[in-house]
Amino acid sequence: MKCVLKHRVNVQFIKMIRAILFAVGCSGPNAEYPVMLLDALKITCPDFDERNIEKYRLTFYETAIITQYARYFGDAGDPKHAVDIFRRLRHNLTTNYADEVMRSRMFSIIITDYSTCLGRANQRNEALAVISEGEQFERYHGRLTMLADLTFNKAYNMYMLGKEKESLPYFALSYYSASMFSEYGRADDQKTIKDFVETHFNLEFD
């Protein structure tokens, strides 16, 4: 039985990577991508229903696939759909995720994507509340590499709420946080923040 399960997990991982590589090769959101992700997910979770994500005891790969699935809808112009999936997934991780190590690897990624989609759905105050939760989680678990993204999301949502002056220190904090972790894949984030501040505040970071 363990051999069968291991084989299924390996096949699921391969299908997930194939789906992600397919999406990377597309010029924009492609409707085939979420179908590929669900195909991978249902190898180990054949009865998956996105309306009842709270009930599943998800593995790390299953969580990663659902995250990519929700992210697709956010990128494809349906942020409310993405928000609904992320809301259920966040609830799952806080109430039904047995492995604390795995939870710590996924939680802030999900919170970052969740807050991004809340912003796109013009639910910016809700986004700020979710971001605060993610920041507390990151600090408690010592996983600081995601703080730059969370802080940028906070700054951007504050800016879009008309709090330009209050948002600037958070843009600066997110920029210098990203610079600290540039070797961990945050160099592109740093450029995004820099370009935004130069365009909207006419300021340059040293």
The whole-number pLDDT of residue 41 equals 96
Residue type, 163: K
DSSP 152-199: HHHHHHHHHTT-HHHHHHHHHHHHHHHHHTGGGTTHHHHHHHHHHHHH
Domain boundaries, the chain: 2-134, 143-206
The whole-number pLDDT of residue 188 equals 72
Please give the model's pTM, rounded to 2 decimal places: 0.88
Q: What is the pLDDT of residues 100-129, one digit of tens each?
A: 677 777 888 899 999 999 999 999 999 999
Average pLDDT value for the chain: 88
Distance CA 103, CA 94 (A): 8
Q: What is the pLDDT of residues 64-91, one digit of tens each?
A: 999 999 999 999 999 999 999 999 999 9
The whole-number pLDDT of residue 35 equals 97
Residue type, 3: C
Options 1.10.3470, 3.30.428, 2.60.40, 1.25.40; which CATH number does 2-134 get? 1.25.40
* Mean pLDDT within 51-72: 92
Number of alpha carbons in the 13 Å side-chain half-sphere of residue 12 = 21
Distance of CA 174 to the CA centre of its chain: 17
Residue with tokens 């923040």: 193
Whole-angstrom CA distances from 55 to 5, 26, 160 are 20, 33, 35
